[in-house]
């Protein structure tokens, strides 16, 4: 059964918090990883690897660079 947006958002919030220390509550769909959350490209790789372990969906580097917002990642995982 596909995960809901809320379930993925909760999982992403936990992952972002573990990797960057940013509170999970700040990880909301409209947030831009670079501009709003100040997350750099290497932390994005760590987030992608952790998301793969959590949701079973691989996010390759050539796709990762197009995922600018939290919503973009949710959509990618749901697709």
Judged by beta carbon, residue 7 or residue 65, the one nearer another protein is 65
Half-sphere exposure of 25 (CA within 13 A, CB side): 0
Question: Using alpha carbons only, what angle is made at residue 49 by residues 71 and 22, rounded to the nearest 5 degrees?
Answer: 60
Nearer to another protein, 26 or 38 (CB): 38
- Select the residue interacting with another protein from 24, 37, 57, 64 (CB under 8 A): 64
Which of the stretches 5-13, 25-33, 35-43, 69-77 binds another protein when contact is defined by CB under 8 A? 35-43
- Binders in 42-61 for another protein, by CB under 8 A: 42, 44-46, 48-49, 61
One of 35, 38, 40, 61 is an active-site residue; which one?
Answer: 40
Is 40 a known active-site residue? yes
Angle of the 41-55 helix axis to the 5-20 helix axis, nearest 10: 130
Rounded-to-integer distance, Cα 60 and Cα 64, Å = 6
């Amino acid at each position: 059964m596909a995960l809901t947006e809320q379930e993925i958002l909760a999982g992403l919030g936990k992952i972002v918090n573990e990797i960057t220390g940013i509170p999970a509550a700040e990880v909301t769909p409209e947030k831009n990883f670079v501009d709003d959350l100040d997350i750099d490209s290497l932390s994005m790789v760590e987030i992608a690897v952790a998301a793969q372990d959590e949701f079973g969906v691989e996010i390759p580097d050539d796709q990762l660079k197009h995922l600018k917002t939290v919503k973009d990642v949710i959509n990618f995982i749901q697709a």
